[in-house]
Amino acid sequence: MCAVLGKTPDAPLAHAHCTFTRFSSKRPDYDGLVHSMKPVLDGLVKGNVLVDDSYDVIGVPQYLWEYVDRNNGHIQIQVEEE
């Protein structure tokens, strides 16, 4: 994992695989799930974790959803250098 607890790689990653998991009480449709992660992906670029959010850099990210009760919603971001 390249970004853990506010730590970033020495240089933004030029090739990475990203997995975004949304934990919420309501299952989003796939389009909504993907769209909800766009600001997160942009933040990874702005935070110098990724060079860019283009296909050449991240390919096709994996988007997952898991149920949690209403008061425990959160997201999990996993970035792995390739």
pLDDT tens, 37-78?
999 999 999 989 999 999 999 999 999 999 999 999 999 999
Q: Which residues contact 39 (CB under 8 A, 6 or more apart)?
A: none
Q: Which two tokens stand for residue 1?
A: 């994992």
What is this structure's pTM?
Answer: 0.88
- Supply the DSSP symbol for 9: -
User: Maximum distance among all alpha carbons in the chain?
Assistant: 37
